[in-house]
Amino acid sequence: MTFKILFINGPNLNLLGQREQSQYGTISFDELRDLCVKKSEELDIKIEFKQSNIEGEIVTWIQNAKGIQDGIIINAAGFTHTSVSIRDALQIFDKAKIELHISNIYSREDFRKKSLISDVVTGGIFGLGSNGYILAIMAMHKILINENK
């Protein structure tokens, strides 16, 4: 069975490899996308890999995923700490959702330690670098297999 996953990346993630390499590593956004596509294909998952710096666009993607996507993996980036709208859209999406962060938001500045979305997702991956993306795909695959037994 082929699963469909919406993979959402929030603001500034398009600049991976160019910004704060001590926090986010040296991999570029395009390289990360390619790794995720490759892993997804290995698991017979079709991913839609998106990035936006615009909060409303992300909300619309989540709303449009209802009835189409089997799950959502989201790195909301800075919107994690500020967006009630993204949180509400995720809460309405009634399938598996994984929150993902390259850095460990809980070991950073105080304002980053509060996630508005953690309580409406199935689970989270924090601080494992770009490897977290591959782990999120694998975890989502396992969740979806278990849900569809």
- Tell me: the pLDDT tens digits for 4-33? 999 999 999 998 877 655 555 578 999 999
What is the total count of domains within the chain? 1
133 is catalytic: no
Cα–Cα distance for residue pair 136/119, rounded to 1 Å? 17
Range of the domain at 19: 3-147
- Tell me: the pLDDT tens digits for 109-141? 777 778 999 999 999 999 998 999 999 999 999
pTM over 0.75: yes
What's the pLDDT at 133? 97
Q: Are 58 and 76 in contact (CB under 8 A)?
A: yes
What's the pLDDT at 78? 92
- Res. 39: pLDDT tops 80: yes
Residue from 24, 81, 106, 141 carrying the catalytic annotation: 24
Q: At 86, which CATH number? A: 3.40.50.9100
- Tell me: the pLDDT tens digits for 62-118? 999 999 999 999 999 999 999 999 999 999 999 999 999 998 877 677 777 789 999
As a residue count, the chain comes to 149
Six-digit token pair at 64? 């449009």
Residue from 81, 101, 106, 141 carrying the catalytic annotation: 101
Q: Are 15 and 51 in contact (CB under 8 A)?
A: no
101 is catalytic: yes
Cα–Cα distance for residue pair 87/97, rounded to 1 Å? 11
Cα–Cα distance for residue pair 75/102, rounded to 1 Å? 8
